[in-house]
Structure 1
Amino acid sequence: MQPDLHSLYLPIPVWLSACFTLLVILLVIGMYYILRKNSQKQALLILMGCLLWLSFLYVLAENAFFLNVTVVPPRFLIAILPPLLLIIILFLRLDGRKFIDQLPLRQLTWIHTVRIGVELLLFQLFIVGQIPGVMTFEGRNLDILAGLTAPLVVFMVFSRNKWSSRVLLWWNIIALGLLINIVTTAVLSAPFPFQQLGFEQPNVGVLKPSFIWLPGFVVPVVLFSHLVVIRKLWQG
């Protein structure tokens, strides 16, 4: 079955892109304040790196670089491989693991509230024909549950000490599963040669500005947060 690509070159409404841009800005600011607790110089360097990466992705997306979906391997890999490789390097290197172990669990849990905004905006992206319904909470995407429960987990684990670190560990494992589920669904819904889902309304929205930041930045940040907490709690 061939995907319906009538919306591939249709722009995303300005208000929708602006809302997602604001969400990403808030996430960057939140990351900066988390990192600043350990080292302000290090936090500034990471902040500059994030801004450069976001600018790079935006320029590529603005010039329709990712909309050429016929090339193999997909150009989309340029958005997702560098942050994934960075995460792998951090976990493999001794100095990377030292950096990871200094990060605060409470703030890393708060980060997941960004998923509420992401899922609400994804639903709007579906309404304007840029992603399939299967990628929303009306489909097979339950990722919003991680965002909705994050404040409760913070309150019960860190503020009231009612729930143990084991609960935090299992919450992160389950929420990571929700993340993997939507990422898999999004990839299989994109108009690439291996597409399996969403042929009537493919996932083209995340190939455009500013939603290219979702796979290229937001998802890696959320993934990194989960992996850091799981590593720290698993080690005891």
Structure 2
Amino acid sequence: MEDIPGYVAGTFIAIVIAVLGFLYYAVSSATPGKKNITSSLVITLLVGWIFFVSVQTFNGYFTNLSGVPRLPMFVGCTIILIILLFVWPRTRAILMEMPITTLHYIHIVRVPVEMVLWWLAVSRAIPMDLTFEGSNLDIISGISAPFAAVFMVGARSQSRVGAIIWNVLALLLLIHIVKMAVGYMPYFYTPTSGGEIANLGVFYFPYVLLPTFIVPSVLFCHLVSLMQLIFKKDQSQF
């Protein structure tokens, strides 16, 4: 990991900050009467989670590959938390009020994420198959996100069906690359003589925040968007 240029880590950290900003704005807009309390609590918890994961990374927790797959276990914890947010009526009510345009614009970060993945692959920290040069088409979601935000859920142009289709397709692209990334992890993959390598880059800071923060955040925004598009009757509230 020492051979990776510093601008790669800098770009990725900027992506993490951008996602935090999007989520903070979404929560603040959903709770205008409790902006200072709810949004501050959410951002504090998110930053706390990022700090906790980062400390574990520096301590070599994830690079210890013996026993239970630790990184997938952490990712599983974030998935469980997301499910609980949808199950608890109080948090579900807040999710329904998040600005759906913000929930679509956030996916723009998937473009620089794909650039970071490509840089990591060039440095042989992850397989090239996990980039847009390989089988990863997730960059399409990032490129099309602003169009979906403006023309499908925007204030002047809305298409509920189109937005649902876009979210489903983008979600399938996300699931596809996550499945590939898990398959290339050293728990499950052994490099062959063909020159392909295991997915090791995400076991180190700051890239560990991709599976433990960025991907869950993107997944969360897709699910909230779909919930609003399917169950929110008044489109004008988008």
TM-score (norm 2): 0.89
4+ residue segments displaced more than 6 Å: 196-199
CA-atom RMSD in angstroms: 1.8
Please tell me whether the aligned partners of residues 143 and 182 of structure 1 are also in contact (alpha carbons under 8 angstroms): yes
Please tell me whether the aligned partners of residues 137 and 144 of structure 1 are also in contact (alpha carbons under 8 angstroms): yes
C-alpha distance in 2 between matches for 1:73 and 1:186: 18
Please tell me whether the aligned partners of residues 103 and 221 of structure 2 are also in contact (alpha carbons under 8 angstroms): yes
Equivalent residue runs for 1:50-199 within 5 Å: 50-69=46-65, 71-157=66-152, 158-161=154-157, 163-192=158-187, 194-195=188-189
The answer for the alignment partner of 2:236 in structure 1 is none
Tell me: CA distance 1:42–1:11, structure 2 relative to 1, closer, same or farther (3 Å).
farther
Tell me: CA distance 1:13–1:165, structure 2 relative to 1, closer, same or farther (3 Å).
same
Please tell me whether the aligned partners of residues 188 and 197 of structure 1 are also in contact (alpha carbons under 8 angstroms): no
Gap regions ≥5 residues in structure 1: 1-8
The answer to whether residue 22 in structure 2 is matched with residue 26 in structure 1 is no
Instruction: In structure 2, give the amino acid aligned to 1:122.
Output: L
* SS of structure 2 residue aligned to 1:141: coil
The answer for the alignment partner of 1:230 in structure 2 is 226
Relative contact order (alpha carbons < 8 A, sep ≥ 6): 1 or 2 greater?
1
C-alpha distance in 1 between matches for 2:55 and 2:201: 16
Which has the higher mean CA deviation after the structures are superposed, 10-19 or 109-118? Answer: 10-19
Which has the higher mean CA deviation after the structures are superposed, 96-105 or 132-141? Answer: 96-105
- Cα displacement (A) at 1:33: 1.6
C-alpha distance in 2 between matches for 1:197 and 1:111: 34
199, 213, 232: which is aligned to 2:209? 213
Instruction: In structure 2, give the amino acid aligned to 1:19.
Output: T
Aligned identity (percent) is: 34
Write the deviation string for residues 152-200 of structure 1: whole angstroms up to 9, x where unpaired: 1112121541x511100110000000000000000001111x3278872
* SS of structure 1 residue aligned to 2:186: coil
- Cα displacement (A) at 1:64: 1.9
Please tell me whether the aligned partners of residues 121 and 127 of structure 2 are also in contact (alpha carbons under 8 angstroms): yes
The answer for the alignment partner of 1:35 in structure 2 is 27
Tell me: CA distance 1:213–1:25, structure 2 relative to 1, closer, same or farther (3 Å).
same
- Cα displacement (A) at 1:10: 5.2
The answer to whether residue 10 in structure 2 is matched with residue 14 in structure 1 is no
Gap regions ≥5 residues in structure 2: 234-238
C-alpha distance in 1 between matches for 2:190 and 2:182: 9
Please tell me whether the aligned partners of residues 135 and 185 of structure 1 are also in contact (alpha carbons under 8 angstroms): yes
* SS of structure 2 residue aligned to 1:137: coil
- The number of residues matched between the two structures is 225
Instruction: In structure 1, give the amino acid aligned to 2:189.
Output: Q
- Cα displacement (A) at 1:101: 0.9
TM-score (norm 1): 0.90
